[in-house]
Amino acid sequence: MSLQATVSPRLPASAASGFLAVSGLACVRGERMVFTDLSFTLAAGHALIVRGPNGAGKSSLLRMLAGLLRPAAGTVGLNGTAMADDGIAWRRNLAWLGHLDALRTTETPRETLRFIARLHGRTDFQTALTALDLDSLADTPIRFLSAGQKRRVALAGLVASNVPLWLADEPTTALDADHAALFQAVLGRHLAAGGLAVLSTHETFPPSAECHELELAAA
């Protein structure tokens, strides 16, 4: 199975701003070929929404972009620098949010976000708390939060990292309609500031010029 998806035809070849380039990516899980020859480019200010049925390789694609899974073939580059050349420099540009929230029940959202900010060499985490409407919950131990509130804390970690590329697996899981819209607004601001995002989701995102869709076929 071969799959080609050129997502942003308006890629500014000599752009000063960042762009993500994926070329010839292949994913093998177990003995199974999940996808091969996946190529796309994504310019700064744009998001890629990865869709597809269960097992189509959405999470695997995101894990490869985060450097958590080694591609069977192909290259990934940001601003012309390949991930394989300098892993740490690559990871400095990205924030990862898997389908798990990565939260500990005894911590508070404030402690969690302060930690995530520090992990990326930042000090500001207050902006992230406010952006995801968490100010009133900042000092509540996470064990008292609902699933949707926990997801918002996890999403606020993307903001607290303050990096160009967001990678998020099913970001809006468990969110109510208002907070899903809030996250889309936060994402919109991130893109407007020249950020990039690759998200996998089964939910509908309102169509916009910044969001492109990549449909992965069932393996």
Partner 1 sequence: MIPALLAIVRREVRLSLREGWQAATALLFFILVVMLLAFGIGPDPVLLRRVAPGALWTAALLSCLLSLDRIFAADHYDGMLDRLLASPVPAEGTALAKMLAHWLTTGLPLTVFSPAAGLLMNVPAAVMPVMVASLAIGTLLLTLVGGAMAALMAGSRRGGLTIALLTLPLYVPVLIFGAGALDKALAGKEAGHAVLFLAALLCAALPLAPLGAAAALRE
Tell me how far, at minimum, the Cβ of 90 lies from partner 1, in Å. Answer: 9
Q: Is 213 in the site for partner 1 (CB under 8 A)?
A: no
Tell me the C-alpha distance between 167 and 178, whole Å.
Answer: 22
Q: Is 103 in the site for partner 1 (CB under 8 A)?
A: yes
Residue from the set 6, 24, 32, 104 that interacts with partner 1 by CB under 8 A: 104
Question: Could you tell me the two tokens for 42?
Answer: 């994504």
CB closer to partner 1, 141 vs 188: 141
Q: Is 146 in the site for partner 1 (CB under 8 A)?
A: no
- Residue 64 has a CB neighbour count (10 Å cut-off) of 23
Tell me how far, at minimum, the Cβ of 101 lies from partner 1, in Å. Answer: 7
Tell me the C-alpha distance between 206 and 203, whole Å.
Answer: 10
Q: Is 177 in the site for partner 1 (CB under 8 A)?
A: no
What residue type is assigned to position 48 of the chain? L
Q: Enumerate residues 6+ apart whose C-beta is below 8 A from 17.
A: 43, 44, 45, 194
CB closer to partner 1, 49 vs 95: 95
Q: Enumerate residues 6+ apart whose C-beta is below 8 A from 4.
A: 37, 38, 39
Tell me the C-alpha distance between 91 and 76, whole Å.
Answer: 12
| Region 56-95 residues binding partner 1, contact defined as CB under 8 A | 63, 66-68, 88, 91-92, 94-95
What residue type is assigned to position 203 of the chain? E
Tell me how far, at minimum, the Cβ of 117 lies from partner 1, in Å. Answer: 9
CB closer to partner 1, 8 vs 159: 159
Tell me how far, at minimum, the Cβ of 42 lies from partner 1, in Å. Answer: 18
Q: Is 30 in the site for partner 1 (CB under 8 A)?
A: no
| Cα distances (angstroms) measured from residue 82 to each of 3, 9, 39, 137 | 22, 21, 14, 40
Residue from the set 12, 24, 53, 121 that interacts with partner 1 by CB under 8 A: 121
The residues of the shown chain that bind partner 1, judged by CB under 8 A, are 63, 66-68, 88, 91-92, 94-104, 106-107, 111, 115-116, 118-121, 157, 167
